[in-house]
Amino acid sequence: MNKLTAAERTQIFWIATGLAVAVSLVQGAITTLVEICESEGLWTIRFSLGRREHLWWTGIALALIASLGCMVLSFLAGNNSDSLGIILLASASSLAVFRYAWPAWRNRHYCSNRWAAWTGPSRTGIDTTLVPLIEGDDPWPILSKEVPAMKQHPVDIRLPLFRSRLIADDPTDILKAKKRIIDSGTSGQQPIDKGKLSKIVKRGPGDRTGLYEPIREKQSASLLWGAYIGFSPRVSRAILAVPSRLLKSSPLTNSGHDGQSVCLAHGILGRNKGLAPKTFILGLDIKTLEEKSVQWPRPSKVLRNYFKEEMESAYDTLLKNYVDAATELALLLADSGHALTADWLAARMEQQDLALNNQVARLGASDDDLQLLYQLSYAAMLVSLSAHRKGRKYRPEMKLFIAYWIKYKGGVNSLPTWTTSNEMKERLSQEESDLGGTDLNALIDAVLFEIKTTSSATPITK
């Protein structure tokens, strides 16, 4: 080492110093960006950065280690003035590795699932005056081009690093802007004919409107929108109601417990309520649901009271059934592996099956039948996660519908005729496939336990 010339030792010293300074600048910039995102509510940017948090902290740690290596090399070559720098770089390297890089690698799967839980397809209500604007099989690319650029909510803002063809605006904002243009007469189009408000359109299998049936006169419509119909993924605005302690990379509940599953549950629930969440049907037999689920023996069940406190504070106005469903969802997510959760979210199993909804409407399901499918959607969500195995693509919605009907609405002989069609027989077969040793019927019985009804036909919440 002593064979190095003074110039070479000086060069190594400045390489080490340059690396350390560059890393400090990058680290400061990233930390500042994260703090700005969290304080300003730029959650789409923040959660997108979170998916890569382990990569940039690893890069920072490796750069600091490389700088430390250069400093040690310079010291061994006779540059004795580098001793303080070695101590400082050793401390910084240890901090970067053990305080930031290692925890980020441990949380990388959670951060990926957090993005999926908060940015998946969202269900929203469309006012009756706006529904007639949704025309054709693929209306959203056309509608988005016909309205001027709109100011985005902070939650929706993305980093403009890459040009994207996906629609950045919210669908309700697009429809409202389109209606203002039509009503003002500046577009050359006639104002909306009120006769169109009563027009019923049958949605075909290739439909990309995202609308759930039924779509009726003077009724709001329910829309499922997201990347699958051309919208850019963004964090749900429901995040504004979530405590900041649950939005960190290592979240905590109010009781101090790990809050990862609670954060994921809030993201899912913020996107899939639909038009009438107070009418959801659920009657839990907790013991059976725990023992028959693929997550058994369910170690997180001991956190039930703590999780329920979190959900009561967030959803108490939506009544007991909703709080029970939210609590059970968080507990199931806590006991599900990261890979299982990722596969479940990728299959959109947290949402009512839009394709099934449109299909049964074409087969002749009544408005009451369609409403019952919606009311059972949270029960189906819990059963689907309790029975999920990687690769499964079908929620047990028809199994649940038929089980509820037989138990509470008059028996097997009174089932609607459309439930016996070949299409529904195929659907039932799909829902029962790849279960392994999972007892799907027992799980369904566990979410239909002691449902209270005002009559044999009208379900109510408990």
The pTM for the full model equals 0.88
What pLDDT does residue 202 have? 63
Q: For residue 385, what are the CA distances in angstroms to 16, 120, 455?
A: 51, 16, 30
Instruction: State the total domains in the chain.
Output: 3
pLDDT of residue 197: 47
pLDDT in tens, 324-340: 999 999 999 999 999 99
- Residue 113 within a domain: no
- Are residues 200 and 256 part of one domain? no
Q: Are residues 149 and 209 in the same domain?
A: yes
Q: What is the pLDDT of residue 83?
A: 56
Q: What does the alpha-carbon distance between residue 269 and residue 267 come to, in Å, rounded to a whole number?
A: 6
Same domain, 372 and 252: yes
Distance, CA of 289 to CA of 292 (rounded, Å): 5
What distance in Å separates the CA atoms of residue 147 and residue 181, rounded to the nearest whole number? 8
Q: Is residue 457 assigned to a domain?
A: no
Point out the residues of the chain with pLDDT beneath 70. Answer: 1-10, 12-18, 20, 64, 67-99, 162, 186-205, 453-462
The pLDDT score that the predictor gives to residue 109 is 95
One domain for residues 241 and 99: no
pLDDT of residue 452: 75
The answer as to whether 131 is a domain residue is: yes
Residues 283 and 323 in one domain: yes
Asked if residue 54 and residue 92 are part of one domain, the reply reads yes
Strand partners, 258: 252
145 in the same domain as 82: no
Give a yes or no: residue 453 inside a domain: no
Among 106, 138, 165, the domain boundary falls at 106
- Looking at residue 252, the DSSP 8-state letter turns out to be B
Cβ atoms of 298 and 318 within 8 Å: the answer is no
Same domain, 347 and 407: yes
**Which residue type, as a one-letter code, is found at position 297?**
P
Q: Are residues 70 and 124 in the same domain?
A: no
Separation between Cα atoms, residue 172 and residue 168, nearest integer Å:
12
Give the pLDDT confidence score for residue 461 in this predicted structure.
39
Amino acid 284: pLDDT: 95
Choosing from 229, 252, 267, the residue where a domain stops is 229
- For residue 456, is it within any domain? no
In terms of Cβ atoms closer than 10 Å to its own Cβ (0-12, 13-18, 19+), residue 302 is exposed
Residues 370 and 298 in one domain: yes
> Which of 59, 80, 106 is at the close of a domain?
106
Structure tokens at 75: 């010291």
Structural domain harbouring 136: 120-229
Q: Quick one: 343 and 371 in the same domain?
A: yes
